[in-house]
Amino acid sequence: MTMLICGASHTSGAGLSDRSQAWPYVFQQLSGQPVISSAIDGASIDHVFYTAVKEVSVHNYTNVIVAWPPLGRTLMVRGENNFLVNGSPMFDHNLYGNNREFKNFLNLYYKHWFNELYDLKFALQKILSLQSFLQSRNCRYLFINSDPYELDLWLNLTNLAPADKSRLLSAFDAMDDAQVLAEQEEIKSYVDQFDTNYYYNPIDYNFRDDCYARELMDPATGHPGPDGHRHLAQLIWQAWSQL
């Protein structure tokens, strides 16, 4: 059965001279299963969610691996041409030669409208929604984080030092203790619904920290090198085999 793999640059093979060395294709060799990778550089959580639901709905995939990308990215669609763009504070995408307009928009968006707390909560809701959707389709699936979500901190907001609370919560100065506790409990309610039989260590594991700790990250590109992708493929194949 063909495997659908969704993700961002740590999955698409950004930084590799040969993207066929990216972990989805090493996984294909290990598993003997044909792989379709929809991963693209810079993908947002919204983009991954949309792509996974679309591909499973249209092509009836029953085997799915999702490497959840970083927080802080936003999916937008151009009105005149349906062109999907994943924006971020580090925007470097050419939008039909008109990237100044889009950069100016993103600068205003991230300055005035981006909120770390709600970005996390919306992400957790998307993860739960995709979990429910895949289960309703009787899919065999595996979720894994490509980047840190700092859930260990978010789940302990009330015990953090003020400086750490302020770093996580852009609106911290406007919140009292009861509001901080309420946010912590809301986040915990989402995390408690994760089916950790199919979500690889969501609080403590992510590709980025793992590869940096093992010196498998290419410092020039900030992405896993070939050895890093082989390591990730082995880890994911082992986790998949245990489902």
Least confident interval from 22-31, 32-41, 65-74, 162-171: 162-171
pTM, 2 dp? 0.93
Asked whether residue 160 is assigned to any structural domain, the reply reads no
The domain tally of the chain equals: 1
The answer to whether residue 23 sits within a structural domain is yes
Return the percentage of the chain with pLDDT > 70, whole number: 95
Helices assigned H by DSSP within the chain: 9-12, 23-31, 45-59, 99-112, 116-136, 151-154, 162-168, 177-191, 207-213, 226-241
Determine, yes or no, domain membership for 38: yes
Q: Is 202 a member of any domain?
A: yes
Cα–Cα distance, 239 to 243 (Å, whole number): 7
Residue 52 lies in a domain: yes
63, β-bridge pairs: 3, 140
| C-alpha atoms less than 13 angstroms from C-alpha of 68 in its C-beta half-sphere | 29
Contact predicate 181/119, CB 8 Å: no
- Residue 58 lies inside a defined structural domain of this protein: yes
Task: Kindly indicate the confidence band of residue 192, based on its pLDDT and cuts at 50, 70 and 90.
Answer: very high
C-alpha radius of gyration, the chain, whole number: 18
Task: Please name the amino acid found at residue 126.
Answer: K
- Fill in the amino acid letter for 15: G
Beta-strand relationship, 84-87 and 140-145: unpaired
Distance from C-alpha of 103 to C-alpha of 180, rounded to nearest angstrom: 33
Asked if residue 33 is part of any domain, the answer here is: yes
Indicate the SS3 state at residue 197. coil
User: Which CATH number goes with the domain that contains 125?
Assistant: 3.40.50.1110
Residue that is written with structure tokens 């640059």 in the block: 9
pLDDT in tens, 35-93: 999 999 989 999 999 999 999 999 999 999 999 999 999 888 877 788 777 777 665 55
For residue 142, is pLDDT > 60? yes
- Number of Cα atoms under 13 Å in the Cβ half of residue 200: 26
Calpha distance 173→175 (Å, rounded): 6
Alpha helix stretches (DSSP H) within 137-176: 151-154, 162-168
Flag whether 91 is in a domain: no
Using CA of residue 110, residue 116, residue 122, residue 128, what is the dihedral sign?
A: positive
What domain range is 22 assigned to?
3-72+114-150+194-241
